[in-house]
Chains A and B, each alone.
Chain A
């Protein structure tokens, strides 16, 4: 635990020493709220809920997750500090988890920056508090999953930009797989494929949770996706050394 915390602390400081984290948080905040009001017709919906707000989150995470996560290992590889880190008396998985948690704090900060929309919706009507909480939890898990996937991809390369592009592509597929247009198109001919699309998709799990439907499968799926991605990161880092 101690080692994880040391790595976490350093990584977090490094995030907030860099303008990138602030820029990303501000963009996230503006984009998620702007889209809600402009495209999501938040006010015209006459509905005191944040469904239209959470609707856009998977799309934003498609870029936001990779943008936060791309430096996690690429930067270490580029600077050569992987060699330093992995010859310290710590395990690779401790470094991986510590770094991932630091990126999750940036994500949490970005989500926290949207808190004003919660006040707005409470001011306008009587929203369902449970729905908002489960929406935020779902959103956080989806964001964390996209970071974890990016983390694994960043372990491959020393180039942050290629990591970003590949990670965005992977997240794009994961969002789109459960998007209604796609599943509706698939359902008549390949119903099984549509179901698989739903069950792996960020979009589907996020929208389920944003509707206040807390079923075990969404958190379990997203958490295991995170676990698997971090495990994969470890495998890649070990593989690169031998």
Chain B
């Protein structure tokens, strides 16, 4: 649904987005990650047709954004970063205006407004003027505007920013639910969110893609991923040496002994050896009849991965 190739944007001498290529299919939810100023919003503004790219192509559902912008924009629902709204309108009036611009009339428009109000839990404030609403409601009003025409593509720039934990949860569920039938790109810097609702995560830094894969796949690349944490209750004297000599193990870290308890983190030789390593440790404990009170394989953490990838060469 979304095909971006070699997308580049310069602001004067500054390169905001550098040769970005992505493609998102229906049924995919792509989490767009990156530190502030990495070019997330700029990229999204280009995808939605707000900013013209310096070079590169944007194709939405087979339609080129630069050749036929109105047809391409018609397929997209967009929630801009600051959730801008016409302050002097009522929630219902605003959504009705958005629906009209999306080409919906009469009963179809009323239905669309009703659905959007219900989906975003706005029925209680439908007749309220937008400037009297709290931030969470405003954000959801803008989200309602983005989904009012049931678009095939959703571009959401920090959809959960400024919401309370309950509202965040509502929006995440919404994204997960809609992601089954739409192609969604959303940006965030909350990493749990990516794990909670994305089928794919892309990390960008200084305008470039630095990682692309499922959240699990990315986590596995974190430095600590694959390490095995063990704790033996009745550790005999030479156990530490035995652990160091494991076939799949590379090194030991954080070794602690308290009385007869020994705990340590064992790193595998390669990340692919992680499971073999835990099996080997288990086998060691079983054959020597040692009480193993903890055996845990670290799946890796997205935030660690994120830091490793984006904190290099920072001033």
Say yes or no: A89 contacts B50, CB within 8 Å.
no
- Interface mask (A64-92 → B, CB under 8 Å = 1, otherwise 0): 00000000000000011101101111110
Q: Which residues of B contact A86 (CB under 8 A)?
A: 49-50
Say yes or no: B51 contacts A84, CB within 8 Å.
no
Q: Which residues of B contact A46 (CB under 8 A)?
A: none
Q: Which residues of B contact A88 (CB under 8 A)?
A: 73, 98, 101-102
Q: Which residues of B contact A83 (CB under 8 A)?
A: 45, 50, 80, 84
Per the 8 Å Cβ criterion, residues 76-117 of A in contact with B are 79-81, 83-84, 86-91
The 5 A-B residue pairs with the shortest CB-CB distance, nearest first, are A80-B84, A89-B74, A89-B73, A89-B70, A87-B48
Q: How far is the CA of A141 from the CA of B74 in the complex (A)?
A: 36
Q: Which residues of A contact B76 (CB under 8 A)?
A: 87
Say yes or no: A79 contacts B87, CB within 8 Å.
yes
Is A17 close to B, CB under 8 A? yes
Select one of B45, B48, B85 contacting A79, CB under 8 A.
Answer: B85
Residue of A nearest to B53 (CB): A242
Say yes or no: B85 contacts A81, CB within 8 Å.
yes
Q: Which residues of B contact A79 (CB under 8 A)?
A: 84-87
- Interface mask (A1-25 → B, CB under 8 Å = 1, otherwise 0): 0010010001001100110000000
Say yes or no: B45 contacts A90, CB within 8 Å.
no
Say yes or no: A90-B85 contact (C-beta < 8 A), given A83-B50, A84-B80, A84-B145.
no
Is A241 close to B, CB under 8 A? yes
Highest count of chain B CB atoms <10 Å: which of A10, A86, A89: A89
17 contacts between A and B (CB under 8 A): A3-B101, A6-B101, A10-B86, A10-B97, A14-B86, A17-B88, A79-B85, A79-B86, A80-B84, A81-B84, A83-B45, A87-B49, A87-B80, A88-B73, A88-B101, A89-B102, A90-B70
Q: Which residues of A contact B74 (CB under 8 A)?
A: 89
- Measured as residues with beta carbon below 8 angstroms from the partner, the interface class of chain A is 20 to 34
Q: How far is the CA of A13 from the CA of B87 in the complex (A)?
A: 13
Q: How far is the CA of A218 from the CA of B127 in the complex (A)?
A: 47
Say yes or no: A87 contacts B78, CB within 8 Å.
yes
Residue of A nearest to B78 (CB): A87
Known: A81-B86, A83-B84, A90-B101. 13 other contacts (CB 8 A): A3-B101, A6-B97, A6-B101, A79-B84, A83-B50, A83-B80, A84-B85, A84-B142, A87-B50, A87-B78, A87-B80, A90-B70, A242-B52
Is B23 close to A, CB under 8 A? no
Q: Which residues of A contact B102 (CB under 8 A)?
A: 88-89
Q: Which residues of A contact B98 (CB under 8 A)?
A: 88
Residue of B nearest to A90 (CB): B101
- Measured as residues with beta carbon below 8 angstroms from the partner, the interface class of chain B is 20 to 34
Q: Which residues of A contact B45 (CB under 8 A)?
A: 83
Q: Which residues of A contact B97 (CB under 8 A)?
A: 6, 10
Q: How far is the CA of A119 from the CA of B309 in the complex (A)?
A: 78
Highest count of chain B CB atoms <10 Å: which of A6, A10, A80, A81: A10
Is B173 close to A, CB under 8 A? no
B104 to chain A, nearest CB (A): 11
Q: Which residues of B contact A238 (CB under 8 A)?
A: 52
Q: Which residues of B contact A242 (CB under 8 A)?
A: 51-52
Q: How far is the CA of A81 from the CA of B50 in the complex (A)?
A: 11
A58 to chain B, nearest CB (A): 31
Say yes or no: B48 contacts A84, CB within 8 Å.
no
Q: How far is the CA of A87 from the CA of B101 in the complex (A)?
A: 11
Residue of A nearest to B82 (CB): A80
Residue of B nearest to A92 (CB): B69
Q: Which residues of A contact B85 (CB under 8 A)?
A: 79, 81, 84
Q: How far is the CA of A81 from the CA of B48 in the complex (A)?
A: 14
Is B236 close to A, CB under 8 A? no
Say yes or no: B73 contacts A80, CB within 8 Å.
no
Q: How far is the CA of A33 from the CA of B277 in the complex (A)?
A: 94
Residue of A nearest to B52 (CB): A242
Select one of A14, A87, A91, A241 contacting B88, CB under 8 A.
Answer: A14
- Interface mask (B28-56 → A, CB under 8 Å = 1, otherwise 0): 00000000000000000100111110000
Q: Which residues of B contact A81 (CB under 8 A)?
A: 84-86
B299 to chain A, nearest CB (A): 38
Q: How far is the CA of A79 from the CA of B85 in the complex (A)?
A: 7
Q: Which residues of A contact B51 (CB under 8 A)?
A: 241-242
Q: How far is the CA of A110 from the CA of B169 in the complex (A)?
A: 51
